[in-house]
Amino acid sequence: MANQNDLAGDGLGVTRIGDSVFTWGKRTYVMGIINLSPDSFSGDGCTSVEQALQQAQRFAGEGADIIDVGGESTRPAAGPVAEEEEIKRVIPFIKEFVKSAGIPLSIDTSKYEVARQALDAGAVMVNDISGLNMQPAIIRLVAERQAPLILTSNERGRSCPDIMETVISSLRKLMELALDAGVSRHNLIVDPGIGFGKTGGQNLEIMRKLADLKALKRPVLIGTSRKSFIRNVLGTDSEALLQGTAATLAIGICNGADMVRVHDVREMSLVCRMSDAIIRGREG
């Protein structure tokens, strides 16, 4: 069984992601999104390795601390992508990116073989959004590689009348599974899974009560960028989505977010810097 002292450890400490050290609580870290799928919900999917590399390099220059690349859309009702196709989409990009990358790379996948080949190619973290459907083999893989792992509360197909209780419970169970498999506690990051099986109202409630996740004693990642709960409030105008995303990040940081996953790195890096100056007393 998981060591209960691990689950209730003091402080968040640091996580080494590749060659970079992430000191939690010091500032908010920015994760730039690279979608190598043609049906991304945000409409920003890259159609070639060259396009994705240019976007990733631009993100690094605009303030991204880490890049998260995925080859399968996670939008609701998106069709599944074959393992071979997902590998074909992401591995060539990873191999090229790490040749000159100054920042670490995360692989966004729920498939063991994709994760394995991505780590072999140079990715240094796994972001698995499958929630309690996570393949045990992926957990064992990240334990063997001593790689950081993002755990996501994904309620698709589940009933959750008390959303925060459900989110915290599912994340705690995932932490126990990971710790039992040998993943180091300092390598775990938790994500409440905004948009994954939640109603618009539930997404807003998670943002209001985000600080409750601090009970898990792990850094919190939020992925609100351009998501439907913002569209439901403000409409689909691109400027409204940008400003709505900015509002969610500022409030999220105020409520304890440690990392933000975004499409618009330049603008959201500025939001994080200003929020950190206010919330964390970090100027400049």
The answer to whether 131 and 94 have CB atoms below 8 angstroms apart is no
Question: Which of 217, 261, 266, 280 is labelled catalytic?
Answer: 261
Q: Is-catalytic flag, 261?
A: yes
> What string of H, E and C letters represents the secondary structure of the chain?
CCCHHHHCCCCCCEEEECCEEEEECCECEEEEEEECCCCCCCCCCCCCHHHHHHHHHHHHHHCCCEEEEECCCCCCCCCCCCHHHHHHHHHHHHHHHHHHCCCCEEEECCCHHHHHHHHHHCCCEEEECCHHHCCHHHHHHHHHHCCCEEEECCCCCCCCCCHHHHHHHHHHHHHHHHHHHCCCHHHEEEECCCCCCCCHHHHHHHHHCHHHHHHHCCCEEECCCCCHHHHHHHCCCHHHHHHHHHHHHHHHHHCCCCEEEECCHHHHHHHHHHHHHHHCCCCC
Please confirm, yes or no, whether 217 is among the known catalytic residues. Answer: no
Of the residues 89, 214, 227, 231, which is catalytic?
Answer: 227
Between CA 104 and CA 119 the distance in angstroms is 11
Chain-centre distance of CA 192, in angstroms? Answer: 10
- Dmax of the chain from CA atoms? 49
Active centre residues (catalytic): 227, 261
